[in-house]
């Protein structure tokens, strides 16, 4: 799909591909096995200015474009979907500030994010508020020049390795979604600590932890947007971030496909290579076609985001839904193509299947994506 990209984007993609092949692939199995966060890769990303891709130029970045983040995320995920998250999750945690932060907030935080000084995280999910994001129980009570936060956020990507988090809490529990607000919380704030570190099935190189707020004091100037706009900030953030999740999914699918294709080209059974069997040819043709279709939708949606098109929740949900379903299908078929070897951890293919599953779950389950899509379609149909 080079014809869909600028020369600069092709150069960026090739650099990310080289990093994935030479630096990430050799340590992916170790990080997965040990659940180790790859600080050495974070340092490499700093040196290569990968974090600057997240941030607009006026705040020390080099891009700020959704498509650029998607391109890099996909290539890194071809080697390891978990390691790619140290960049992608920082994009997610930064988007509330980029989209709705004050000028002062942007000047304070975005240059530090751009130069890789700090990673960020996004605190929305709770034990009783997953798909039902409006059911959050974390509260923020104003006392003078501070908000006092109480509650626990769960399953937070980059939790405990990030230094800054954007957190959604209820400032008026009587108003439902209109009673939530968004805040910037820094590591080291009084009353803020980390809870359980999760032991996950996949993306094990990425840290997932609880954020615990026990009378945590957050300065008033750290509120993002007006009081009561937290749910809007969260939804706008997820719309912008979902193409990135889709790109992670396609990267995982492509990485698994690459391994499977090479395997059937070299593996012999019944006196011939597996690639000569028509049934398997049909399988890889379908896998490749679905990957390309998902990638095309991601590019189109990311361009809509970058163009500032309004009301694109449907398109963002569509690309996340399609890409993650493709990732699960392709990785499952790739394991099948490897046969018994595909089930063994001596071979890297089973990791791709484990990593793919989360893309159907986080940043809105695929069932929620279908709700978003259907509601928008019904609303659009009623306006015609």
**Structural domains in the chain, sorted by start:** 2-114 (1.10.540.10), 120-228 (2.40.110.10), 231-382 (1.20.140.10)
Token pair in block for residue 241: 């971030």
Question: What integer pLDDT is reported at residue 383 of this predicted model?
Answer: 74
Strand 120-123 versus strand 164-170 pairing type: parallel
Token pair in block for residue 53: 């891709």
Q: Residues 34, 363, 367, 380: which is the catalytic one? A: 363
Model's pTM, two decimal places?
Answer: 0.96
> Residue-wise over 263-281: b if at least 16 C-beta within 10 A, else e?
bbeeeeeeeeebbeeeebe
Asked if residues 300 and 254 have their Cβ atoms less than 8 Å apart, the reply is: no
Question: What integer pLDDT is reported at residue 313 of this predicted model?
Answer: 96
Token pair in block for residue 166: 């954007």
Question: What integer pLDDT is reported at residue 287 of this predicted model?
Answer: 98
Helix (H) or strand (E) segment spanning residue 295: helix 278-306
Asked if residues 217 and 184 have their Cβ atoms less than 8 Å apart, the reply is: no
DSSP 135: G
Asked if residues 309 and 240 have their Cβ atoms less than 8 Å apart, the reply is: no
The rounded distance, in Å, linking the Cα atoms of 353 and 348 is 10
Cα separations in angstroms, 368 against 37, 245, 321: 30, 15, 9
How many Cβ atoms from other residues are within 10 Å of residue 241's Cβ?
Answer: 25
- Is 186 assigned a catalytic role? no
Question: What integer pLDDT is reported at residue 348 of this predicted model?
Answer: 94
Average pLDDT of adjacent 10-residue blocks, the chain of 384 residues: 88 98 98 98 98 98 96 98 98 98 98 98 94 91 97 98 98 93 98 98 98 98 97 96 98 98 95 96 98 98 96 96 98 97 95 98 96 94 77
Place of tokens 């394991």: 335
Token pair in block for residue 247: 């790109």
The rounded distance, in Å, linking the Cα atoms of 37 and 141 is 34
Strand 192-197 versus strand 208-219 pairing type: antiparallel
Token pair in block for residue 56: 């607009």
Query: 356: closest CA among 242, 247, 203?
Result: 203
Question: What integer pLDDT is reported at residue 382 of this predicted model?
Answer: 81
CA 236-382-229 angle, to 5 degrees, is 25
């Amino acid at each position: 799909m080079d014809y869909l990209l600028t020369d600069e984007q092709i150069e960026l993609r090739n650099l990310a591909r080289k990093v994935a092949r030479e630096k990430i692939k050799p340590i992916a199995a170790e990080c997965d096995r040990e659940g180790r966060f790859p600080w050495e890769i974070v340092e490499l990303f700093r040196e290569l200015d990968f974090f600057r891709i997240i941030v607009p130029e006026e705040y020390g970045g080099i891009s700020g474009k959704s498509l650029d983040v998607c391109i890099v995320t996909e290539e890194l995920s071809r080697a390891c979907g978990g390691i790619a998250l140290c960049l992608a999750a920082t994009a997610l945690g930064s988007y509330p500030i980029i989209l709705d932060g004050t000028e002062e907030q942007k000047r304070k935080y975005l240059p530090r994010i751009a130069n890789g000084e700090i990673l960020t995280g996004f605190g929305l999910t709770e034990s009783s508020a997953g798909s039902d994001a409006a059911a959050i129980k974390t509260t923020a009570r104003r006392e003078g020049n501070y908000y006092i936060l109480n509650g626990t956020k769960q399953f937070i990507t980059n939790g405990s390795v990030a230094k800054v988090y954007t957190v959604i809490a209820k400032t008026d529990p009587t108003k439902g979604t209109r009673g939530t607000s968004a805040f910037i919380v820094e590591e080291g704030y009084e009353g803020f600590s980390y809870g359980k570190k999760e032991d996950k099935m996949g993306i094990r190189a990425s840290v997932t932890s609880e954020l615990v707020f026990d009378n945590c004091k957050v300065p008033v100037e750290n509120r993002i947007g007006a009081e009561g706009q937290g749910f809007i900030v969260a939804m706008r953030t997820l719309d912008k971030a979902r193409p990135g999740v889709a790109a992670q999914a396609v990267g995982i699918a492509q990485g698994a496909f690459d391994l499977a294709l090479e395997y059937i080209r070299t593996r012999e059974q019944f006196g011939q290579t597996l690639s000569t069997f028509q049934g398997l040819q049909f399988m890889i043709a379908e896998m490749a076609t679905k990957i390309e279709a998902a990638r095309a939708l991601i590019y189109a949606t990311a361009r809509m985001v970058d163009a500032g098109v309004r009301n694109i929740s449907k398109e963002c949900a569509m690309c996340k839904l399609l890409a993650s379903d493709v990732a699960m299908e392709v990785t499952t078929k790739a394991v099948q193509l490897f046969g018994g070897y595909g089930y063994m951890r001596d071979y890297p293919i089973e990791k791709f299947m484990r990593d793919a599953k989360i893309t159907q779950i986080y940043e809105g389950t695929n069932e929620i994506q279908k709700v978003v899509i259907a509601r928008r379609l019904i609303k659009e149909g009623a306006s015609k």
